[in-house]
Amino acid sequence: KPEAVVLETERRTAKLTTPANTIAISNRDRVIYPESNITKGQLADHYAAVAEIMLPWIASRPISLVRCPQGRAKKCFFQKHDAGSFGGKVHHVGITEKDGHEEPYLYVDDADGLMTCVQMGTIELHGWGARIEDVEKADRLVFDLDPDEGLDFEAVRAAAFQFRDILKSLGLTTFPMLTGGKGVHVIAPLTPQAEWPQVKDFAFR
């Protein structure tokens, strides 16, 4: 494997300087998931309950949001930039796009930032494979496994174990993360030394 693609050994921690319930949640009775009758208030309570577990894996890295302000039955959209509507609890990091222009990407670093995203209609948060300190160097490698049509979850589970064993033989320790759908993410933490072309080359091998 590329010399720079090595196991991350540092334990990541997020700063939980404020309780998760300091952000007021409006329209708590609005149904966000009509198929299961889950309301915005219930979704917010869930994120507040898991914030301490979730933040070490989502904090201080660029995030992309899936927002459904009026619920999943109406318009949802994907958002990674901000024009300032999120307020001071959700932060920005400038990232240069392929066309050379710098765009403000979103990130959070505490429970208030997470709950602000929920207040703004966020139902999903997708973190980058790099931290804001150096977005050009990956600190984790993610293999996204989803079942083909006709396959059940057991096939995905078996594939995840195969990926674990292959990566272990290359010196990488992995852990699984359930995606909330039918798939599994197999994640290998990395020391942030290799840049994206090296990491992508390693992944495709």
Model pLDDT for residues 77-125, shown as the tens digit of each residue:
999 998 778 999 999 999 998 898 999 999 999 999 999 999 999 999 9
Question: What is the percent of the chain with per-residue pLDDT over 70, rounded to a whole number?
Answer: 89
On the question of pLDDT at 19 being above 90, the answer is no
Count Cβ atoms within 10 A of the Cβ of residue 76 and give its class: 0-12 exposed, 13-18 middle, 19 or more buried: middle
Average pLDDT over residues 38-57: 95
What's the pLDDT score for residue 98?
87
127: Cβ contacts below 8 Å, ≥ 6 apart: 57, 58, 61, 62, 63
Q: To which H or E segment does residue 50 belong?
A: helix 40-58
CA distance 86 to 99: 26
β-bridge mates for residue 4, sequence order: none
Q: Are 79 and 124 in contact (CB under 8 A)?
A: no
What is the mean predicted confidence (pLDDT) over 135-162? 93
Buried b (16+ CB within 10 A) or exposed e, 94-126: ebeeeeeeeebbbbbbbbbbbbbbbbbbbbebe
Of the pLDDT bands very low, low, confident and very high (cuts 50, 70, 90), residue 9 is very low
Assess whether pLDDT exceeds 80 at residue 70: yes
Residue 165 is predicted with a pLDDT of 96
Cα 165 from Cα 75, distance rounded (Å): 41
Residue 39 forms beta bridges with which residues? 31
For residue 181, pLDDT beyond 90: no
The confidence score (pLDDT) of residue 82 equals 84
* Mean predicted confidence (pLDDT) in 147-163: 93
pLDDT tier at 199, thresholds 50, 70, 90: very high
Q: How high is the mean pLDDT of the chain?
A: 89
**Residue 121 structure tokens:** 């209609």
d(C-alpha 14, C-alpha 32), whole Å: 28
Say what the pLDDT of residue 20 is. 46
